[in-house]
């Protein structure tokens, strides 16, 4: 039986047990109350209800949309994302649920047109850390790679890792588009020319009256052909396949870098935990190393 069904049955049986205990307590006459007391809930049952793994520690993304198809047995709902597409999102007792800023029990989660959901990846599943159910139009944020941008219509399509379908946003003429990150990248040309296919962007948006996403601010993280310097701890190294992951302490971000092993024999002299400095060029898909130096 799936773990989520087991947890649902445990919660159900635990509530039934509490109800039975309350009924038994109410049947005790006042004269016997001093000699008899209602049995306390089984602490082991309570421990089972609260025994859940720690929350996922990955990067979180706030997504605006409409909540529907809530399944309390499988602990999941469907989030129809503003800008297009939908996704299945998991939740459980660890998920914090708010209605207009006031926290409510997770069992009170209900379908609603306006919600902001703070999500993260739990393995390969999308998990809801916090859910804000709103009576007004929500704001959201998505980070991904530009698929296309039409300057005439202002339509921007983004491939977002958490969404199986492209996120489609309107970009008004007054929406700021700015480069962020390392200084020599920030001082580049910038502007809407950076919204080219392959660019990495972080977009804040709100929903208009018809439920379409409207970009309010766009941060450009990388563009095709831009150079970057990463320095930090080597958390992962696969020399045969030419892959490494660097944790850069300057922004506490992990960067996946590819390299040609035959061009960098130094990679056979370093190992996980080593400190390295890597110059890489973003090719529209990957950060590709052009220089690797142990530190």
Instruction: Provide the percentage of residues in the chain whose pLDDT is more than 90.
Output: 40
pLDDT of res. 98: 87
- Residues 17 and 9: beta-carbon distance below 8 Å: no
> How far, in whole angstroms, is CA 116 from its chain's centroid?
12
Residue 32: the pLDDT is 41
What is the per-residue pLDDT for 206? 78
pLDDT score at 18: 37
Q: Give the domain 227-294 fold.
A: OB fold (Dihydrolipoamide Acetyltransferase, E2P) (2.40.50)
Q: What's the angle, vertex CA 14, arms to CA 11 and CA 18, rounded to 5?
A: 140
Q: Tell me the CATH architecture of domain 61-133.
A: Beta Barrel (2.40)
Cα gap 143→218, rounded to integer Å: 10
139-150 and 200-207 beta bridge pairing: antiparallel
Please state the rounded mean pLDDT for residues 159-183.
83
User: For residue range 225-251, what is the model confidence (pLDDT) as tens digits?
Assistant: 999 999 999 999 999 999 999 998 888
DSSP E strands: which ranges in 151-199? 155-160, 167-170, 177-179
For the cut 60, the answer to whether the pLDDT of residue 17 exceeds it is no
Q: What is the pTM of this model?
A: 0.54
Phi/psi for 210 (5° steps) reads: -95, 5
Class of domain 141-222: mainly beta
The reply to whether 227-294 shares the fold of 141-222 is yes
**Helix H or strand E encompassing 85:** none
Range in 109-118, 129-138, 251-260 the model is least confident about: 129-138
Calculate the average pLDDT of the chain: 79
Instruction: Give me the pLDDT at residue 49, please.
Output: 45
Cα separation of 51 and 47, whole Å?
6
Q: What average pLDDT does this structure show over 210-217?
A: 78
For the stretch 103-121, pLDDT in tens is 899 988 988 877 889 898 8
pLDDT at residue 2, rounded to an integer:
43
What is the domain partition of the chain in residue ranges? Answer: 3-50, 61-133, 141-222, 227-294
- Tokens 């935990």 belong to residue: 273
161 HSE (CA, 13 A, CB side): 15
Q: How far is CA 265 from CA 188, 239, 268, 279, 282, in A?
A: 33, 9, 6, 16, 22
Write down the H helix ranges in 63-219: 183-186
For position 123, what pLDDT does the model report?
Answer: 82
- Beta-carbon count within 10 A of 179 CB: 19
- Cα angle 99, 104, 108 (rounded to 5 degrees) comes to 90
The helix (H) or strand (E) run that includes residue 78 is: strand 76-81
């Amino acid at each position: 039986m799936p773990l989520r069904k087991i947890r649902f049955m445990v919660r159900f049986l635990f509530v039934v047990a509490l109800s039975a205990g309350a009924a038994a307590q109410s049947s005790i006459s006042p004269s016997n109350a001093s000699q008899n007391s209602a049995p306390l809930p089984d602490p082991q049952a309570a421990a089972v209800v609260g025994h859940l793994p720690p929350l996922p520690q990955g990067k979180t993304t706030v997504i605006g949309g409409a909540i529907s198809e809530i399944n309390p047995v499988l602990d999941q709902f469907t989030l129809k994302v503003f800008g297009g597409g939908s996704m299945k999102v998991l939740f459980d007792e660890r998920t914090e649920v708010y209605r207009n800023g006031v926290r409510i029990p997770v069992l009170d989660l209900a379908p609603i047109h306006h919600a902001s959901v703070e999500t993260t990846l739990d393995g390969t599943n999308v998990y809801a850390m916090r859910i804000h159910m709103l009576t007004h139009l929500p704001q959201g944020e998505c980070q991904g790679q530009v698929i296309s941008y039409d300057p005439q219509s202002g339509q921007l399509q983004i491939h977002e890792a958490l969404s199986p379908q492209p996120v489609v946003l309107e970009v008004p003429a007054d929406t700021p588009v700015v480069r962020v990150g390392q200084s020599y990248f920030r001082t580049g040309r910038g502007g809407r020319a950076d919204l080219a296919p392959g660019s990495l962007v972080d977009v804040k948006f709100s929903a208009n009256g018809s439920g379409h996403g409207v970009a309010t601010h766009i941060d450009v993280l990388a563009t095709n052909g831009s150079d970057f310097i990463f320095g930090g701890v080597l958390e992962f190294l696969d020399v045969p396949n030419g892959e490494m992951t660097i944790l850069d302490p300057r922004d506490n971000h992990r960067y996946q870098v590819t390299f040609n092993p035959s061009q960098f024999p130094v990679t056979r002299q370093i190992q996980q935990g080593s400190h390295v400095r890597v110059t890489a060029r973003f090719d529209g898909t990957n950060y590709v190393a052009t220089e690797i130096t142990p530190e």
